[in-house]
């Protein structure tokens, strides 16, 4: 949840100032033993819940983008977010998905890149 | 059953169960704990049955190498609570699989993980049997205790009574024995007995002890002690919720066991004890124990009652099924499975648990091998009825062949003795001894009429006769005492062949020198002539 401007910190950078939207997914990963047993009852092992954060960035200046991109390109990130189940800020290690930057004009001075989104996916299950 | 909570039993079959595994061990005075991050998969398994020893196995796929000979402890858990806890394991209930010893470790280059093969402490018995520090005679119970101590284990049943616990072993059974007279200057000659290996391991000995005690010998999961385990009726029932929807087979029923047969001498010498009422009602179901060294002597029939007492009435369903995971049953646990409104009573003998990101358990119980005893030729005790049999005495390196009539006082015996090699396995010794006899003959063979020995060859004569016939490589003679009544042979003193006898009757002719003595008729007159025949 985005409960205040400091809710999302990635690699020490407060993302609250750069985003227009944050989507929180809590995805279940099931083992291959999942299915129906002889009684027809669904059975199986839950490997865990892997949180995923999708951030919609606003239009960013050249300077702002240059600050964000190294984080997006790094192989691993440390993400702090407010978890509603834990009712507290949680920290997780993530990896990022692909992202695209669209420019409709030459970016200089106060001109900005178009907004874009990027996902941050937990490498370990939520404990 | 492994100690477990009711919450564990419920959670293990739930959709959305969450699992955990822990391996702990000591290394360089430090306690190492491997968990979900380090462990990729674990597969505990065993294959067992009644009347044998069982060793459990654990195969680990781990990102961390564990040194060989390390003793590890394995626990498996299921999440049973969802509380806000500091350590996530506080929300899990665990069952213990006990301790294992790392035997092999191999690196997998493709996954950069290690395949680690471990066995429980029955591994300690996989070495050559040596003389125990005991004095004979000794009871079965004390003997097992001595074996356990020799292996560095504690015998769990050291103070219990169990089948044949008080039977006595009179001498060493698993080593070859040779007694020599030792003479040292200034000292009385004394006997010295030396023992050499017959190729048995302690595991072989435990297998035979399992037969004597009508048990399954294994390592207890909770305390690592050597245990005589008997069928444990858990009174626990599982249903289709625990079964996968593939590979589910419940077949024939085995039992009721109602006959125990002890067999030796190539299964030619059998004695048995039966529950005759059960045989009548339920049909014969026998368990045959073959060539058990403890039950190989004149007192072997005394072992039967305890064994039959223990196994009489044993019955269970043959099965082969995959489960979504039960985990808490132990070897020899008796449990029930309800399927399609039918209840199958089963015994846990073979189990394999596949723990990866998920859980699967494969359980099967096979039909024991068929044995067919010819009860017409078997006895209820040690009475031989017109028997011919071979007894292999491994300890004294002797094969005894006995032919004995039912009138036990008569001694119409033929015996043969031969030597066997002492530095080969007991089975090889038995086979070699028989082959040696067939190939090379025997040193002495005697019955009522014929004696074969190295000195005279073949002598045909009863003990009461004065007249005897002797045949060997240089003579054939008929003698009255030492007087030759007829002799055909080579006189080594004269250096010539001879034929000697008091009387000789020739019907047609005989030749001597250049002449032939022959009968002929002339004008119906019977004559004997001497005719020159030349060279």
At residue B127, the pLDDT reads 95
Helix intervals (H) in B103-201: 140-150
The number of angstroms, rounded, from the C-alpha of B219 to the middle of its chain's C-alpha atoms is 20
Cis peptide before B99 (omega within 30 of 0): no
Q: Write down the pLDDT at residue B425.
A: 45
| Peptide bond just before B256 cis, omega within 30 deg | yes
Nearest to A39 among B16, B17, B240 (CB): B240
Residues 11-30 on A with a CB inside 8 Å of B are: none
Q: What is the pLDDT of residues B80-114, one digit of tens each?
A: 998 888 899 999 999 999 999 999 999 999 999 99
Quote the minimal CA–CA distance from A43 to chain B in Å: 4
Contact A37 B245 (CB under 8 A): yes
Judging contacts by C-beta atoms under 8 Å, the chain B residues touching residue A32 are: 356-358
Q: Report pLDDT digits (tens) over B377-431.
A: 677 765 444 444 556 676 776 666 554 443 433 333 333 433 333 344 445 545 5
pLDDT surpassing 90 at residue B184: no
Q: Please count the helices (runs of H) and the strands (runs of E) in chain B.
A: 6, 38
Mutate to test the interface with A, among B85, B357, B359, B361 (most CBs of A within 10 A): B357
Q: Across the interface, which of B324, B357, B358 has its CB nearest the CB of A37?
A: B324
Place of tokens 């007159």: B525
Choose among A33, A47, A48: nearest Cβ to B324.
A33
CB contact under 8 A, B13 and A31: no
Query: Chain A: nearest CA to B274, how far in angstroms?
Result: 41
In whole angstroms, give the CA distance from residue A121 to residue A30.
17
Longest dimension (CA), chain A: 68
pLDDT tens for each residue of A63-84: 999 999 999 999 999 999 999 8
Query: What pTM does this model have?
Result: 0.73
Residues of A in contact with B17 (CB under 8 A): 44-46
ipTM of the modeled complex? 0.76
A39: nearest CA in chain B?
B240
Which residues in chain A have Cβ-Cβ distances shorter than 8 Å to B360?
33
What region does B304 belong to: left with phi over 0, alpha with psi -120 to 50, or beta? alpha
- Measured between CA atoms, how close is B116 to chain A, in angstroms? 23
Spatial separation of the C-alpha atoms in residues B93 and B77, rounded to whole Å: 5
Q: What is the pLDDT of residues B281-301, one digit of tens each?
A: 999 999 999 999 999 988 999
List chain A residues with CB under 8 Å of B325: 33
Q: Does B440 touch chain A (CB under 8 A)?
A: no
CB B452 within 8 A of CB B442: yes
Q: B30 or A1: which carries more pLDDT confidence?
A: B30
Q: Considering only residues B369 and A78, tell me which one the structure prediction assigns the higher pLDDT.
A: A78
Nearest to B19 among A35, A39, A45 (CB): A45
pLDDT confidence tier of residue B275, bands split at 50, 70 and 90: very high
Q: Which of B10, B11, B13, B16 to mutate to test the interface with A (most CBs of A within 10 A)?
A: B16
Residues of B in contact with A44 (CB under 8 A): 15-17, 324, 358
Residue A40 reports pLDDT greater than 70: yes
Selection from B463, B447, B446, B464 nearest residue B455 by Cα: B446
Place of tokens 């394999």: B352
């Amino acid at each position: 949840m985005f409960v205040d401007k400091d809710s999302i910190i990635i690699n020490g950078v407060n993302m609250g100032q750069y985003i227009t939207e944050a989507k929180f997914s809590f995805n279940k990963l099931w083992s291959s033993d999942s299915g129906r047993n002889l009684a027809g009852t669904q059975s199986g092992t839950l490997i865990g819940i892997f949180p995923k954060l999708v951030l919609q960035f606003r239009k960013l200046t050249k300077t702002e983008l240059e600050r964000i991109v190294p984080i997006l390109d790094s192989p691993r990130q440390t993400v702090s977010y407010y978890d509603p189940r834990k009712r507290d800020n949680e920290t997780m290690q993530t990896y990022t998905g692909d992202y695209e930057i669209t420019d409709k004009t030459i970016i200089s001075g106060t001109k900005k890149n178009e907004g874009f989104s990027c996902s941050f996916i937990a490498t370990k299950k939520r404990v | 059953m492994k100690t477990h909570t009711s919450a564990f039993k419920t959670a293990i079959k739930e959709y959305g169960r969450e699992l955990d595994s822990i391996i702990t061990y000591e290394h360089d005075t430090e306690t190492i704990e491997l968990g979900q991050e380090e462990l990729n998969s674990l597969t505990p398994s065993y294959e067992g049955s009644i009347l044998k020893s069982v060793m459990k196995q654990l195969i680990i796929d781990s990102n961390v190498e564990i040194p060989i000979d390390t003793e590890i402890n394995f626990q498996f858990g299921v999440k049973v609570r969802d509380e806000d806890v500091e350590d996530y394991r506080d929300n899990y209930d665990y069952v213990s699989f006990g301790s294992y010893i790392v035997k092999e470790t191999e690196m997998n280059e493709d996954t950069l993980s290690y395949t680690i093969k471990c066995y429980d402490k029955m591994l300690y018995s996989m070495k050559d049997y040596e003389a125990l520090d005991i004095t004979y005679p000794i009871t079965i119970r004390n003997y097992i205790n001595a074996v356990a101590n020799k292996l560095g284990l504690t015998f769990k049943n050291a103070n219990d009574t169990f089948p044949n616990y008080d039977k006595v072993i009179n001498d060493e059974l698993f080593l070859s024995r040779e007694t020599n007279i030792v003479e040292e200057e200034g000292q009385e000659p004394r006997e010295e007995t030396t023992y050499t290996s017959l190729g048995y391991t302690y595991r072989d000995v435990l297998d035979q002890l399992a037969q004597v005690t009508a048990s399954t010998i294994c390592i207890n999961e909770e305390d690592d002690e050597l245990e005589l385990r008997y069928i444990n009726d858990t009174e626990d029932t599982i249903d289709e919720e625990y079964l996968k929807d593939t590979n589910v087979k419940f077949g024939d029923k085995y039992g009721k066991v109602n006959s125990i047969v002890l067999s030796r001498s190539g299964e030619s010498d059998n004695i048995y004890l039966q529950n005759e009422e059960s045989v009548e009602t339920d049909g014969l179901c026998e368990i045959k124990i073959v060539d058990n060294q403890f039950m190989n002597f004149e007192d072997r029939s005394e072992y039967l009652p305890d064994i039959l007492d223990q196994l009489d009435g044993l019955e269970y369903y043959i099965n082969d099924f995959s489960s979504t995971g039960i985990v808490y049953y132990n070897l020899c646990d008796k449990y029930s499975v309800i399927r399609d409104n039918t209840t199958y009573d089963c015994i846990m003998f073979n189990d394999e648990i596949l723990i990866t990101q998920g859980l699967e358990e494969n359980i099967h119980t096979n039909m024991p091998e068929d044995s067919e005893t010819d009860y017409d030729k078997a006895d209820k005790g040690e009475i031989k009825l017109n028997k011919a049999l071979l007894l292999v005495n491994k300890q004294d390196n002797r094969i005894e062949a006995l032919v004995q009539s039912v009138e036990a006082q008569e001694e119409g015996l033929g015996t043969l003795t031969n030597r066997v090699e002492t530095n080969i396995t007991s089975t090889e010794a038995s086979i070699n001894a028989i082959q040696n006899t067939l190939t090379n003959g025997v040193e002495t063979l005697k019955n009522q009429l014929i004696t074969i020995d190295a000195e005279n060859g073949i002598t045909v004569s009863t003990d009461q006769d004065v007249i005897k016939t002797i045949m060997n490589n240089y003579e054939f003679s008929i003698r009255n005492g030492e007087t030759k009544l007829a002799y055909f042979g080579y006189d080594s003193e004269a250096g010539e062949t001879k034929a000697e006898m008091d009387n000789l009757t020739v019907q047609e002719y005989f030749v001597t020198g250049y002449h032939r003595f022959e009968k002929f008729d002339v004008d119906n007159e019977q004559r004997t002539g001497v005719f020159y025949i030349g060279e």
